[in-house]
Structure 1
Amino acid sequence: MKFRSLAIIGFIIAVILFISCKTHFETTKSDYKAVVSTANFNHGKNLVFSICAGCHYNRGLKKLAGNPMDDVPGIAGKVYSANLTQSKTNGIAPKYTDAQLKYLLKTGISRDGRFMSYMLRPNMADEDINDIIVFLRSDDPAVSAADTTVGLTHYSFIGKAYLGFKADPASYRSNVKRPSDNDPVALGRYLVDNVGCYHCHSKSLKSLNSINPEQTKGYLAGGATLKGEQGSEIAASNITPDKNTGIGNYTKADFRRALKDGRSPTRTLRPPMEKFDHLTDKEVDAIYAYLMTVPPKYHAVKHI
C-alpha cells in the first residue's frame, strides 16, 4: 500500500513537471520599438476594437480592463481576459516592452514564457501589430488606467494539464505584409484570420488551427457553442456560401448590415456576436468577397 501511494505521488509530480515544461518557453530578446504617428494610432484603435475588444472590453468600466471568460469550462478553473489598460498594478501594457507585446501576439508566448493559446496571431502583418501597440500605449480613454481588478485567472489542475498537452506556440514570422486593399479576396482572408471570425464560426474553439486557419475543423460552417446573455448557450452561424444553411443568399449590403449593424436578413444578431463598426466598408466588403470563395458547406445550425 505504501509503495502504491509513493507511485501515485511520483506520477503526480511527474505530470506537474511535464506541464511546467510544456507551458514555459523562450521569450524574445529583440529591441523592437513601435513607430508612432496619428495614422498609426487611428488604425490601431480600429484594429483593437475589431480584434481584441470582444474579450477585453469591459462594458461596465468602458475600458479594455478584461472580463470573465465564460466560454472556458468551469472544470478548467476561472479565467479572465487580461487588463490591457495603462494600469501599473493590473495592466499588461506597462509591464511589457514593445518587442514582448509583438512576440506575444505572434507566438502566444508571454514575457515570462507562459503560453497563452488565445492570444496568438501568427499571420498578422507587422504593420498592424505596430499600430495595435501604438494604441495600447496611448492616452485614449479605453486604455487609461483601470486599477479595478475584474478577476484573477486561476486554472485548476485539469485546466493546467489541458494547457500543457495543448501548448503549441507558433513560430515567430517576421516581415509579414498586410494584403493590398486592391485584392479584396486576399484582404478578406487575412481579416477572417486575424479578426478571428473562424474562431467562433467553426466547429469548436478547442480545435483551431492558428497557422493554417482553413484547416480548422468545420471551418466557417458554424456550430461552436458560446455563452450568450445571462449564460444562455448560443450556436455560431454557418457563414460559408451555402444557400440553404449559410450566407449564400446574402447580398453585399446584407452582409455589411449584419456585420456593422447586427441585423441579418432574417433576425437580429445577439451577443456574443459584436457589431464590427470599427471595420471600414472596404474591409467588410473584402470579408464578404472572401467568404463567397469558400467552399459551401451544408450545416444547419439551430438558433434558439
Structure 2
Amino acid sequence: MKKHRLIAVICLIITAITVYSCKTHFATGQENYKATASPLAFERGKAMVFSSCAGCHYNRSVNKFIGNPIHDVPGIVGKVYSANLTNSKNHGITSHYTDQQLKYLLKTGIAKDGRFIPYMLRPNMADDDINAIIVYLHSNDPAVTAGDTTIGVTHYNIMGKLYMGITAKPLPYKTGIKLPADNIAMGRYLVDNIGCFHCHSKKLTSLNYLDPEQTKGYLAGGAKFKNEQGDNIYASNITPDKETGIGKYTKADFRKALKDGESPKRKLHPPMPKYKSLNDREIDAIYSYLQTIAPVYHKIKGLKII
C-alpha cells in the first residue's frame, strides 16, 4: 500500500511540474506605439539587425533572414529553428506583427499570441535602437523582403516544455532607455545588446539578460556550440587576461577580429560572425569596455570562436 501511495505522490508531482512547465502564454502589451521611419533609422536598424540577429536568423545560402536550424539545442528537448524574419506573408513573422507587438517581443520575449520565446531578449536596448530595428524589419531591404520558405518548425517535447517552464520567464517591459554617450558605457551597451556576453560566458542557459555582469563566467568563455557537422566549438575568453584572454590585443587586432574574423593567432570559427555593420567607433568602444573588466584566467580547450 505504501509503495502505491509513493508512486501516486510521484505521479502527482510530475503532473504538477508538467502543468506548470506548459504555462507558455502570458499577458501581452497594450501600448499604442508606432515606429518612426527615417533614412537614419533604417541604416541604424540594418546595422543592429545584422549585428544582433544575423547569427541565428540570417541564412547565408540565400542572403536573407529566413532562419536556420539551431544545432546547439540538445535533441532531448526537441528541435529548434530560428524564425523567418522576412516580410513573407506565408512564413515570415514581421509581416504579421505590428510595431508595438515587435517592440514588446524584443523587450520581454512575449509573442503577440502570448507565447514566451526565450531568445533574442533585449530588455536593456535603447528605445531609439528598438525603433530602428522595427523600421528595418518592415522595410524593403533585400535581406528582409519576402522569403517564402521555411527552414523548419520549432517543436519542444515534454522535456523541453518542462525545462522552459521552470527556468525561462518573461522579462519586464522597460522603456525610456537612452543610448549612452560615454565611450565605455557605449561599449558595455553593445556587449549587452549585440549579444557578446551571450556566447562568451559560461553557458547559454545561465544568461542574466537584465544584469549581464551577473551572468556566470561573464565574458570568460567556455560556452559550447555545435557546427553543422556536429563538432564541438567553444567560445573563447574575451576578458583582458594576457595569457588566456585578449589582454595582448591591440585596438587594431580587435578591429580585425570583429570585422574580418581573424585574431592575431588564428582564423575565427562560426558561429562568430563578421561584424561588418559595426563602425570603428563602436568596435573601439567595445574594446575600451572590455579593458575595464577584471581579467579572468580561463584557458579554453577545443576549437575557438574568438
Give the Å deviation of 1:223: 0.6
Q: Which residue of 1 aligns with 2:282?
A: 283
Does the aligned pair in 2 maintain the 1:202–1:219 contact within 8 Å?
A: yes
Distance 2:174 2:272 in 1: 30
Does the aligned pair in 1 maintain the 2:22–2:162 contact within 8 Å?
A: no
* 1:20 lines up with 2:19 in the alignment: no
Q: Which residue of 1 aligns with 2:63?
A: 62
Does the aligned pair in 2 maintain the 1:85–1:142 contact within 8 Å?
A: yes
The residue identity in structure 2 corresponding to 1:296 is P
The residue identity in structure 1 corresponding to 2:54 is A
Q: In 2 relative to 1, CA 303–13 (structure 1 residues): closer, same or farther, beyond 3 Å?
A: closer
Q: In 2 relative to 1, CA 2–239 (structure 1 residues): closer, same or farther, beyond 3 Å?
A: closer
Q: Which residue of 1 aligns with 2:152?
A: 151
Distance 1:10 1:90 in 2: 39
Structural mapping, 1:249-260, within 5 Å? 249-260=248-259
Q: Which residue of 2 aligns with 1:92?
A: 93
**1:26-52 residue CA offsets vs partner (Å, 9 max, x unmatched):** 101112000001111111001000000
Using the size of structure 1 for normalisation, the TM-score is: 0.95
Q: Which residue of 2 aligns with 1:124?
A: 125
Distance 1:186 1:240 in 2: 16
**1:272-303 residue CA offsets vs partner (Å, 9 max, x unmatched):** 11111110110000000000001000000124
Q: Which residue of 2 aligns with 1:209?
A: 208
**1:238-271 residue CA offsets vs partner (Å, 9 max, x unmatched):** 0000001000000000000001011100001011
Distance 2:21 2:112 in 1: 18
Distance 1:146 1:252 in 2: 38
Does the aligned pair in 1 maintain the 2:221–2:300 contact within 8 Å?
A: yes
Q: Which residue of 2 aligns with 1:166?
A: 167
Structural mapping, 1:227-246, within 5 Å? 227-246=226-245
Structural mapping, 1:265-276, within 5 Å? 265-276=264-275
* 1:185 lines up with 2:187 in the alignment: no
Give the Å deviation of 1:15: 3.3
Give the Å deviation of 1:14: 3.1
Q: In 2 relative to 1, CA 250–17 (structure 1 residues): closer, same or farther, beyond 3 Å?
A: same
Distance 1:232 1:303 in 2: 10
Distance 2:80 2:151 in 1: 11
Q: Which residue of 1 aligns with 2:220?
A: 221
* 1:134 lines up with 2:129 in the alignment: no
Q: In 2 relative to 1, CA 5–203 (structure 1 residues): closer, same or farther, beyond 3 Å?
A: closer
Distance 1:167 1:233 in 2: 25
Q: In 2 relative to 1, CA 257–229 (structure 1 residues): closer, same or farther, beyond 3 Å?
A: farther
The residue identity in structure 2 corresponding to 1:209 is N
Does the aligned pair in 1 maintain the 2:71–2:228 contact within 8 Å?
A: no
Q: In 2 relative to 1, CA 77–229 (structure 1 residues): closer, same or farther, beyond 3 Å?
A: closer
Distance 2:302 2:5 in 1: 55
**111-120 or 212-221: bigger deviation:** 111-120
**1:120-179 residue CA offsets vs partner (Å, 9 max, x unmatched):** 100000000000000000011111111111100010110010000012211111110111
Structure 1 alignment gaps of length 5 or more: none
Give the Å deviation of 1:229: 4.7
Distance 2:205 2:12 in 1: 30
Query: Helix, strand or coil: the match of 1:253?
Result: helix
The residue identity in structure 1 corresponding to 2:198 is H
Structural mapping, 1:103-118, within 5 Å? 103-118=104-119
The residue identity in structure 2 corresponding to 1:113 is G
- RMSD of Structure 2 on Structure 1 (CA): 1.6
**1:204-246 residue CA offsets vs partner (Å, 9 max, x unmatched):** 0010000000000000000111113522111101000000100
Give the Å deviation of 1:6: 7.1
Does the aligned pair in 2 maintain the 1:241–1:295 contact within 8 Å?
A: yes
Does the aligned pair in 1 maintain the 2:107–2:122 contact within 8 Å?
A: yes
Does the aligned pair in 2 maintain the 1:229–1:271 contact within 8 Å?
A: no
Distance 2:95 2:183 in 1: 36
Q: In 2 relative to 1, CA 95–2 (structure 1 residues): closer, same or farther, beyond 3 Å?
A: farther
Does the aligned pair in 1 maintain the 2:232–2:302 contact within 8 Å?
A: no
Does the aligned pair in 2 maintain the 1:246–1:299 contact within 8 Å?
A: yes
